[in-house]
Structure 1
Amino acid sequence: MPGLVMLLAFTWLSLFFLSGINAFHGLNNPNPEILLSMEKARFVNLAINVAMDQVLDALDHIKLQESKSKNVQERAALSDCWKFYEFTIRQLIQILDPGLKSTSLDILTWLSAALTSIENCKTSMIELNFTNSIPEYSFSELISNGLASMPSEETTKFVVAQDGSGNFRTIKEALNAASNKKRSTRIVIHIKQGTYHEYVEIGLRMKNIMLVGDGIGKTIITGNRSYEAGHTTYQSSTVNLFEGYQGTLWANANRQFYKDCHIYGTMDFIFGDAAVVFQNSFIYARKPKHGQSIVLTAQGRSNPNETTGFSIINCKVQVGPDLKPVLSQYKAYLGRPWKKYSRTVYLESFLDSLIDPFGWTDWKDHSGHSNVYYGEYGNYGPGSSTKRRVKWPGYRIINVTEEGKFSVGKFIDGQVWLPETGVPFSTAI
Structure 2
Amino acid sequence: MAARVLTVAQDGTGDFCTVQEAIDVVALGNTCRTVIRVSPGVYKQPLYVPKTKNFITLAGLSPEDTVLTWHNTASKIDHHQASRLIGTGTFGCGSTIVEGEDFIAENITFENSAPEQGSGQAVAIRVTADRCAFYNCRFLGWQDTLYLHYGKQYLRDCYIEGSVDFIFGNSTALLEHCHIHCKSAGFITAQSRKSSQELTGYVFLRCVITGNGGTSYTYLGRPWGPFGRVVYAYTYMDACIKQAGWNNWGKTENERTACFYEYRCFGPGSCPLKRVTWARELIDEEAEQFLVHTFIDPDPGNPWLAQRMAIRIPFCA
Q: 1:387 to 1:405 in 2, by over 3 A?
A: same
Match of 1:312 in 2: 204
Which of the residues 184, 206, 221 maps onto 2:53?
A: 206
| Shift, 1:408, TM fit | 4.3
Which of the residues 390, 399, 422 maps onto 2:283?
A: 399
Q: Structure 2: state its 5+ residue gaps.
A: 78-87, 94-122, 127-137, 313-317
Deviates more, 1:415-424 or 1:223-232: 223-232
Matches within 5 A, 1:52-67: none
| Shift, 1:423, TM fit | 5.6
Instruction: Tell me which amino acid in the other structure corresponds to 1:184.
Output: T
Which of the residues 221, 226, 234 maps onto 2:91?
A: 234
Matches within 5 A, 1:310-349: 310-319=202-211, 323-324=212-213, 327=214, 331-349=217-235
Match of 1:382 in 2: 268
Instruction: Tell me which amino acid in the other structure corresponds to 1:206.
Output: K
Q: 1:209 to 1:424 in 2, by over 3 A?
A: closer
Larger Rg: 1
Instruction: Tell me which amino acid in the other structure corresponds to 2:11.
Output: D
Matches within 5 A, 1:18-417: 154-178=2-26, 180=27, 183-227=30-74, 232-236=89-93, 237-240=123-126, 242-287=139-184, 293-319=185-211, 323-324=212-213, 327=214, 331-392=217-278, 395-413=279-297, 416-417=303-304
Match of 2:111 in 1: none
Checking the alignment, whether the CA contact within 8 Å between 2:18 and 2:43 is kept in structure 1 is yes
Q: 1:229 to 1:404 in 2, by over 3 A?
A: same
Q: Secondary structure at the match of 2:274?
A: coil
Deviates more, 1:408-417 or 1:300-309: 408-417
Match of 1:101 in 2: none
Checking the alignment, whether the CA contact within 8 Å between 1:334 and 1:360 is kept in structure 2 is yes
| Shift, 1:314, TM fit | 1.2
Q: 1:382 to 1:217 in 2, by over 3 A?
A: farther
Q: 1:389 to 1:245 in 2, by over 3 A?
A: same
Q: 1:154 to 1:408 in 2, by over 3 A?
A: farther
Checking the alignment, whether the CA contact within 8 Å between 2:22 and 2:36 is kept in structure 1 is yes
Instruction: Tell me which amino acid in the other structure corresponds to 1:175.
Output: I
Instruction: Tell me which amino acid in the other structure corresponds to 2:236.
Output: F
Instruction: Tell me which amino acid in the other structure corresponds to 2:173.
Output: V
Q: What CA distance in whole angstroms lies between the structure 1 residues aligned with 2:277 and 2:170?
A: 24
Q: What CA distance in whole angstroms lies between the structure 2 residues aligned with 1:423 and 1:353?
A: 37
Q: 1:159 to 1:380 in 2, by over 3 A?
A: farther
Checking the alignment, whether the CA contact within 8 Å between 2:6 and 2:35 is kept in structure 1 is yes
State the Cα deviation string for residues 238-265 of structure 1 (Å, max 9, x = none). Answer: 2157111111111111111111111121
Checking the alignment, whether the CA contact within 8 Å between 1:222 and 1:243 is kept in structure 2 is no
Instruction: Tell me which amino acid in the other structure corresponds to 1:357.
Output: Q
Q: What CA distance in whole angstroms lies between the structure 1 residues aligned with 2:254 and 2:311?
A: 36
| Shift, 1:275, TM fit | 0.8
Q: 1:194 to 1:364 in 2, by over 3 A?
A: farther
Checking the alignment, whether the CA contact within 8 Å between 2:30 and 2:54 is kept in structure 1 is no
Please state which structure has a larger fraction of its residues in strand. Answer: 2
Checking the alignment, whether the CA contact within 8 Å between 2:29 and 2:54 is kept in structure 1 is no
Checking the alignment, whether the CA contact within 8 Å between 1:221 and 1:238 is kept in structure 2 is no
Q: Secondary structure at the match of 2:227?
A: coil
Q: How many aligned positions are there? A: 259
Checking the alignment, whether the CA contact within 8 Å between 1:200 and 1:238 is kept in structure 2 is no
Q: What CA distance in whole angstroms lies between the structure 2 residues aligned with 1:246 and 1:197?
A: 20
Q: What CA distance in whole angstroms lies between the structure 2 residues aligned with 1:355 and 1:215?
A: 30
State the Cα deviation string for residues 244-292 of structure 1 (Å, max 9, x = none). Answer: 11111111111111111111211111111111111111111224xxxxx
| Shift, 1:424, TM fit | 8.9
RMSD across aligned positions (CA): 2.6
TM-score, length-normalised on structure 1?
Answer: 0.55
Please state which structure has a larger fraction of its residues in helix. Answer: 1
Deviates more, 1:259-268 or 1:216-225: 216-225
Q: What CA distance in whole angstroms lies between the structure 1 residues aligned with 2:202 and 2:245?
A: 16
Instruction: Tell me which amino acid in the other structure corresponds to 1:422.
Output: M
Q: 1:177 to 1:399 in 2, by over 3 A?
A: farther
State the Cα deviation string for residues 205-254 of structure 1 (Å, max 9, x = none). Answer: 23223333323423333444444668612123221571111111111111
Q: Secondary structure at the match of 1:344?
A: strand
Q: Percent identity?
A: 30
TM-score, length-normalised on structure 2?
Answer: 0.73
